[in-house]
Amino acid sequence: METLDELDDVTISRAIIEHYARDLIDALDTEVAIAGGGPAGLMAGYCLARKGIKTTLFERKLSVGGGMWGGGMMFSRIVVQDTGRDVLSDLGIRTEHYRDKYWVADAIECVSTLTSGAVQAGLRIFNLVSVEDVMIRRDEKVSGLVINWSPVEMASLHVDPLTIRAKVVIDATGHACEVVGIVANKVGGRLNTESGSIMGERSMWAEEGERAILGNTREVYPGLYVAGMAANAVYGSPRMGAIFGGMLISGKKAAEMIIEEITANE
């Protein structure tokens, strides 16, 4: 009969602490830092990591996936159009044809497969970590993120944060566009929008929301890109409900623009 090896509880604890601390120290200097692990952030992280770019993603919640798990009104299915379906197929995620240009996918398969693909491509994800500020230097460029444990934020504990240096930051925090909000409020700089400030999300209109999102995926402030729902919120475009092609393609586009920028500066 097979016997289990002797286990030492403290060795288990030491292994966890040493490996986590090693990885967090390694992440202190990263090429791209992503705030938010919804579909847009995960997709951006996947595309960047696959190109060998050192990328770190911080997610406030226990689980990544953002608004994708719940599909539409907790019916855990998502809809994508042809372009979104191509992205899902590339990731090995199955879709079922509904009619015309509409495809349906299982939200659980989407989140789990995308997350697994991103992590295995080299994306480093820290869950339970909230981005609470940005790092700005004399050149007035966003040059990193300020992070803290989410439970510190939730319990309003007076605990100071830590800092991550990054060449480029992506705000993929969804509807709240939190990182852009921090820049607008604290840095007081003019954003690359029509008004110079956050324009605010508009009411539901799937066609227009999906059409606008690619144009809205851009560098909104030096060193800071915006992707996913945050892009539509910053640039004053509509929400679009549970159609997710735009989120995935926005994350992919942000990654492509950043890859071009990083490669050009090398």
| Contact positions vs ligand 48H (CB under 6 A) | 35-41, 58-61, 66-68, 130-131, 172-176, 178, 204, 228-230, 239-241, 247
Of 141 and 239, CB closest to ligand 48H? 239
Of 39 and 223, CB closest to ligand 48H? 39
* Least Cβ distance, residue 38 to ligand 48H (angstroms): 2
* Least Cβ distance, residue 67 to ligand 48H (angstroms): 3
* Least Cβ distance, residue 55 to ligand 48H (angstroms): 15
* Least Cβ distance, residue 54 to ligand 48H (angstroms): 19
Of 67 and 222, CB closest to ligand 48H? 67
Of 11 and 227, CB closest to ligand 48H? 227
According to the 3-state scheme, what is the secondary structure of the chain?
A: CCCCCCCCHHHHHHHHHHHHHHHHHHHCEEEEEEECCCHHHHHHHHHHHHCCCCEEEEECCCCCCHHHCCCECCECEEEECHHHHHHHHHCCCCCEEEECCEEEEEHHHHHHHHHHHHHHHCCEEEECEEEEEEEECCCCCEEEEEEEEHHHHHCCCCCCCEEEEEEEEEECCHHHCHHHHHHHHHHCCCCCCCCCCCCCCECCCHHHHHHHHHHHCEEEECCEEECCHHHHHHHCCECCCCECHHHHHHHHHHHHHHHHHHHHCC
* Least Cβ distance, residue 11 to ligand 48H (angstroms): 32
- From residue 74, alpha-carbon distances to 78, 96, 135 in Å are 10, 19, 37
Of 65 and 143, CB closest to ligand 48H? 65
* Least Cβ distance, residue 75 to ligand 48H (angstroms): 14
Of 36 and 144, CB closest to ligand 48H? 36
